Every structure is written in C-alpha cells, then in structure tokens.
Amino acid sequence: MDNEEIYEKATKRVKAKKGFIYHLVAYAGVLGMLSMILKSEGETMLPVYIVGLSWGIGLATHYLKTFGTQHLDFLGVSPDWEKEELEKELESLTQERELKERIANEKLNLEELDELELREIEKRKLDRDFT
C-alpha cells in the first residue's frame, strides 16, 4: 500500500467518524426537542421512547460500522475477540489431536506389551515341556 492509498483510506475513515458524530448530534437534538415539545403539552413520553429506541438501533449500527468494537472494552467486548477466539479454538483442537495421538500410541504400546507377555508365557510353557 503506497502513501496515496493510505491517505485516501485515512480520509475515508475520518469522514466516516465525522458522519457518525453528526448522526449522534442529530439524534440527541431531535430527541431533546421532541421531549421538550411533549413535556410542554403534557403528553406522554412514549413517542420519545419509541423514536429513541428505533433510531438508537440505527445509531448503534452506524457506530459499529464506523468504529468497530475497539472502544467497547468497558462492555467486555475486546477489539480482537475474533482473533482471540480463533486462537482458543486452534489451541483446543491441537490439544484434542495430541490427546488422540497419545491414546493411539498408548494402545499400540499396550498391544505390544501384551504380545511380549504372551510370547514370554509361551516360552515358559515350552521350557517346562522340555524339562
């Protein structure tokens, strides 16, 4: 990636962040004005909650698209969760494979040991027969 591509990518990211900030300001402004209007008329706040929730879902989606999970550590969401989970799965599967290999090796060793014991028993029987 050359410097021009890096500059273009950085510019797009900054514009996306700026767009999210404008979206957030509009969200707060509209909800604030709507709640003030409804309070002054003595109306219920249900429309504010409905607009706030539905628009908030869109705002949350916009946030995740713009920033990803890099700022959500306080919620327990790690920015590298996918990488960490992949490493955990790889480690788990590797350990499982090693365990299966160890079990297979132990079975072979036990079979060899049984064979040797049988040969030893047969040899003893033959020795007794000749004596």
Model pLDDT, residue 16: 93
Question: What is the mean pLDDT for each group of 10 consecutive residues in the chain (131 residues)?
Answer: 86 94 97 92 89 96 86 68 79 90 92 86 73 58
Give the global pTM: 0.56
Q: Which domain holds residue 105?
A: 80-131
CA distance 40 to 130: 116
Residues 28 and 44 in one domain: yes
Q: What is the pLDDT of residue 107?
A: 93
Residues 68 and 86 in one domain: no
Residue 34: predicted pLDDT: 93
Whether residue 37 is found in the same domain as residue 1: yes
Query: Do 64 and 32 belong together in one domain?
Result: yes
Q: Are residues 86 and 101 in the same domain?
A: yes
Query: How many domains does the chain contain in total?
Result: 2
67 & 104 share domain: no
% helix, strand, coil for the chain, step of 5: 85, 0, 15
Note whether 66 and 86 are same-domain residues.
no
Nearest to 104 by CA among 88, 91, 90, 112: 112
